[in-house]
Amino acid sequence: EMRTPMHAIMALSSLLQETELTPEQRLMVETILKSSNLLTTLINDVLDLSRLEDGSLQLDIATFNLHSVFIEVHYLVKPVASVKKLSVTLNLVADLPVYAIGDERRLLQIILNVVGNAVKFSKEGSISITAFVAESESLRYFRAADFFPVQSDNHFYLRVQVKDSGSGINPQDLPKLFTKFAQNQSLATRNSGGSGLGLDQVHFH
């Protein structure tokens, strides 16, 4: 019910964008589209988190192009990064399979939340995204004790490293890192906006 009117706003705005508009009108339509996309993302974050908490989230498992997911994330964050004069580099290590089986949209959502935070909280400098296959032993301390599937020909661990030149996280804020609707209270964060749901979703996934 929340998403239906947003789809209508976005569809009609896209159609309006194809008509004869003055520069001022075009700017207003583009602002409507950008704001609608942001609101849709926030709605999806809330809905997905609710489903994750009650266990009703259904994954859409299929074969997909893993490299394309990272390329799309890179494409989506570059405009905002360019405005802030941030360089964003993407490194897909040679051992990373081109194709994988899983939920492409959820993976994109997770990676975009993490990379989006890096862009949001970096005022200048650079951001690097590196994706590679990790050895299972190297992840022993990053997984719950009851979740340690064996690596095989049909299963691999995907490791994604995002490094940025942002302000970092205050030590006192670390316990709240994966708390929903909670954000770092530093000045940089207060000015950055956001729902406070991104990392909580990453933690749940």
- CATH 1.10.287.130 domain locations along the chain: 3-54
Backbone angles phi, psi at 119, to 5 degrees: -70, -40
Q: Which residues have C-beta within 8 Å of that of residue 51, sequence separation ≥ 6?
A: 57, 58
Count CB neighbours of 131 within 10 A. Answer: 21
In order of 5, 21, 36, the CA distances from 68 in angstroms are 30, 34, 25
Q: Determine the number of helices (DSSP H) and then strands (DSSP E) in the chain.
A: 6, 5
The top-level CATH class assigned to 3-54 is mainly alpha
DSSP reduced 3-state for 170: coil
- CATH 3.30.565.10 domain locations along the chain: 62-166
pLDDT for the residue numbered 47:
79
pLDDT for the residue numbered 198:
46
Domain 62-166 has CATH 3.40.50.720: no
- Nearest C-alpha neighbor of 180 from the set 46, 17, 86: 46
Partner residues linked to 86 by β-bridges: 125
pLDDT for the residue numbered 168:
66
Q: State the pTM of this model.
A: 0.65
Tens digit of each residue's pLDDT, the chain (205 residues)? 677 888 888 889 999 989 999 999 998 998 888 778 778 877 877 877 777 777 777 888 999 999 999 998 898 888 888 888 899 999 999 999 999 999 998 898 889 888 988 988 888 899 999 999 987 666 666 655 565 666 667 788 899 999 998 766 666 666 665 565 555 555 444 445 554 544 544 444 4
- Nearest C-alpha neighbor of 44 from the set 101, 106, 132, 91: 106
pLDDT for the residue numbered 150:
62
Contact 158, 134 (CB under 8 A): yes
